[in-house]
Amino acid sequence: MRTMAAVFQKLRMLRANARGIAAIEFAFTGLMLVLGLMNAVDVGFYAYKRMEVENSAEAGTQAAWKTCNNVNGAQYLPATYPTGNCPGLNNAITTAIQATSLGTAVTLASGYPTEAYYCVNASNVLQNVGSVSSSPPANCAAAGNSGYIPGDYLQVQVTYAYKPLSSGLTVMNALGISSITKATWMRLG
């Protein structure tokens, strides 16, 4: 019983003593500020990497256009059908996407590039109107614009393995984002 009374007396003395309380408050406040700053930096880093991945995909589609459209006066369209119709297409795309700041960490997604005939529909959205394995449709009637001719569009999709800056208590880590994938389109013809 005596020990309990001594413990309570020590707690009363501790409660009455205000020395060092500012340091404890600063430690808790500082922890919250650092945690907030870490999250802001991590979200910013993710946004930057997303823009870099999108830039990489755009570089890949531009390389496809340059490689297959009007090369030495020749046009290799459709580029992907029959297989290899546009010589060096995949190499040109891979070289272009890896020439960005992401380097070899960014890769061409499996199954890409893809190519098909598209038209703009009444909602101003690209609509698939035919495969490049067959002859192109005569017009865009399937999309509701019979006065237009379908375009040969190529899509490039790239993937980047994303790792958050901190493996601790950050928003990006909690979301579990492990990769960034972006696709871009280019009209070849």
Indicate whether 13 belongs to any domain: no
Instruction: Calculate mean pLDDT across residues 154-160.
Output: 96
Q: Which domain holds residue 176?
A: 23-112+155-187
The percent of residues in the chain predicted with pLDDT above 70, rounded, is 95
Indicate whether 183 belongs to any domain: yes
Mutual angle of helices 21-68 and 89-98, in 10-degree steps: 150
Q: What is the reported pLDDT for 73? A: 65
Q: What is the reported pLDDT for 75? A: 75
Indicate whether 59 belongs to any domain: yes
Instruction: Calculate mean pLDDT across residues 25-39.
Output: 89
Instruction: Calculate mean pLDDT across residues 33-41.
Output: 89
Indicate whether 165 belongs to any domain: yes
Q: What is the reported pLDDT for 71? A: 65
Indicate whether 124 belongs to any domain: no
pLDDT per position as a tens digit, 168-178:
778 888 888 88
Domains identified in the chain, total number: 1
